[in-house]
Structure 1
Amino acid sequence: MSPQQNNNPNKIAIIGAGGVGATTAYALMIKGIGSEIVLIDINKQKAEGEAMDLNHGSSFVNPVKVYAGDYSDCKDAKIIIITAGAKQKPNESRLDLVAKNVEIFKEMIPQITEYNDNCILLVVSNPVDILTYITLKLSGFPKERVFGSGTVLDSSRFRSLLSESCNIAANNVHGYIIGEHGDSKVAAWSLTNIAGTSLDDYCPVCEETCTRDSQEQIAKQVKDAAYKIIERKGSTFYAIALATSKIVRSILRDENSVLTVSTLLQGEYGVEDICLSLPTVLNSSGIDRVLTLNLEPEERDAFVKSAETLQEVSKNLNL
């Protein structure tokens, strides 16, 4: 590794200029997050084309430098966002991507850390929990500086669906999806509230007709969301780009925001040595702390089962 360097606090590198990477750059640009964005892709022409297209809108946003580069351009980035990898196909689960993307990451991570060993690594590629774990092991970085987008998007989907069901603005709905960003994700209903009121107290006075079956249906819709989008349009990128921009803003602006990013667990709810999502405080240092909030017994059991699913996969990674 190179000697530790001082990073540009407003520089962001994005590895992968496909749908997610390019849309993330766009989201960062229009939100005024970061003053320098470099796109790095094995297809250099694609990265150059995306950078040109973004730059042509520079008169409409805050000053920002967007350009295509290579791994050496990671050298002083504060945050490196990894979106590269094989994408999920129809009828393919996120875990089906493991073998393909593990090999890509084994080649990619050393090339990043060769030029920057003092940055924050944010993994967005799927399966994000496994690839975050791999990135942590391959980089040798402390766990505070390696995490994944996790269930930040799932939690937003959850809030959006509850918003529709309850006819309340999504920003007044608070709730989390925890565990895997995948089929074993868990809706933490016990932590969900509207305007500071638990669902158990809110539902009886709600003018809508929510039932326990409605809640189960919402949880299923969250679980199936990506599959339905991929079936209809081939891939997902708008919402995950917005979720990623929220994570990046929380870091660059030292917000101490609580987001369900995927991070290495060290005993939370009895889970060890796997990356999963729990409400986590993010600031300019990366992970500040993971919150272990009171879950209902069935939620805790489902979370542990989610962890066991991923631990079984991680045993065969051969790192």
Structure 2
Amino acid sequence: MAKVILIGAGAVGTSFLYSAINQGLANEYGIIDVSENGRDGNVLDLEDAIASVPKEFKIYAADYDQLDDADYILIAAGRPQKPEETRLQMVQDNVAIIKEIARKIKASKFSGITLICANPVDILTYAYLKATGFPKERVIGSGTVLDTARLRVEIAKDIGVSPNSIDNAYVIGEHGDSSVTTFSTITVGGKPLSEWGCKFTNENYEEKLERYVARKAYEIINRKRATFYGIGAGMAKILSSIVHDKGDIVVCGAYLEGEYGFSNIVMGVPCVLNKNGISKIVKIDLNSKEQEKLAASYKIIEGINKEITF
């Protein structure tokens, strides 16, 4: 069975652990955090779940010298996003944190798969890749997995179906304000979105929905200071696809080498996930408007990357 090490035991990291534990994704979990009290408190709290979940597990306070035989690392370390602060405004503080974590991981014998969900995730996943030199298919950011979930939830509510019935609905590009919704690819029950009512043929609907999805995090942060359940579940979904070698197509942060016309960048795109990590980046057909918006999103991420010393 699998060994998972969490680095960063804040609300996001522990929400991921709780979701992974309930799904029985590993039999061993270690927690690394700069706060020993917070780390140890979460170990004590989460171990109480052993008696109530289908699969028993071991959980403990860990350190970087315990990474050698780990199968998966999830990095959720970083300072939280402030109200009305964009994810990109957090970049300098969290790049410094991810580079130090990368240095410690590289010094170990870790050869597994790294998942990253600290923000701004596109920048941090790129920084981690550059700092470690690990294979690109084994370094996976959360990308726009959460944005895609938010999109499907909202469309499902509008139509009155399950979110799992919304097909080919993706948010790609930056996990942030320049994300791109692929309205042209969405189908429900095999029919395009436009056939589910006149509201879905209105460009104003698309603009409002896209803005809502991109801005939903700010609404949550203003109300309860942080988002964590949705992204925790999203990261557990990514891990489940890998652990069970499913071959699922999941939107996540991947390093591009010519896909979608872009290179040397990490952004959210649909990927096939299996036991080796990202086995394939799925190229979906975008219309001209979507491709243009994706190019703009790329330029925003690239501009930030150029300002950082790797």
Q: Could you state the TM-score of these two structures normalised by the residue count of structure 1? A: 0.94
What's the counterpart of residue 2 of structure 2? 10
Query: Gaps (5+ residues) in structure 1?
Result: 1-8
Which among 118, 134, 144 is matched to residue 141 of structure 1?
A: 134
Which among 188, 213, 228 is matched to residue 237 of structure 1?
A: 228
Q: Are the structure 2 counterparts of residues 163 and 149 from structure 1 closer, same or farther at C-alpha, using a change threshold of 3 Å? A: same
Q: Are the structure 2 counterparts of residues 124 and 134 from structure 1 closer, same or farther at C-alpha, using a change threshold of 3 Å? A: same
Is residue 28 from structure 1 mapped to residue 24 from structure 2 by the alignment?
Answer: no
Q: Residue 117 of structure 1 contacts residue 141 of structure 1 at CA under 8 Å; is this kept in 2? A: no
What's the counterpart of residue 212 of structure 2? 221
Q: Distance in 2 between matches of 1:172 and 1:116?
A: 42
Which among 263, 268, 273 is matched to residue 254 of structure 2?
A: 263
What's the counterpart of residue 189 of structure 2? 195
| Aligned 1:152-171 pairs, distance under 5 A | 152-171=145-164
Is residue 292 from structure 1 mapped to residue 283 from structure 2 by the alignment?
Answer: yes
Secondary structure, counterpart of 2:175 in structure 1 = coil
Q: Distance in 2 between matches of 1:55 and 1:269?
A: 44
TM-superposed deviation, 1:71? 1.0
- How big is each residue's C-alpha offset from its partner over 1:61-82, in whole Å with a ceiling of 9 and x where there is no partner? 1111111111112221111000
| Percent of paired sites with the same residue | 37
What's the counterpart of residue 273 of structure 2? 282
Which among 57, 63, 75 is matched to residue 56 of structure 2?
A: 63
Q: Residue 133 of structure 1 contacts residue 274 of structure 1 at CA under 8 Å; is this kept in 2? A: yes
> Residue type matched to 1:317 in 2?
I
> Residue type matched to 1:91 in 2?
E
Query: Gaps (5+ residues) in structure 2?
Result: none
Tell me the C-alpha RMSD between the 2 structures: 1.3
TM-superposed deviation, 1:129? 0.2
Greater shift, 164-173 or 208-217, is seen at 208-217
Q: Residue 74 of structure 1 contacts residue 112 of structure 1 at CA under 8 Å; is this kept in 2? A: yes
Q: Residue 73 of structure 2 contacts residue 113 of structure 2 at CA under 8 Å; is this kept in 1? A: yes
Greater shift, 191-200 or 25-34, is seen at 191-200
TM-superposed deviation, 1:112? 1.4
Is residue 303 from structure 1 mapped to residue 297 from structure 2 by the alignment?
Answer: no
Which among 130, 154, 175 is matched to residue 123 of structure 2?
A: 130
Q: Distance in 1 between matches of 2:15 and 2:59?
A: 13
Q: Distance in 2 between matches of 1:190 and 1:171?
A: 18
Secondary structure, counterpart of 1:278 in structure 2 = strand
Q: How many pairs are equivalent? A: 308
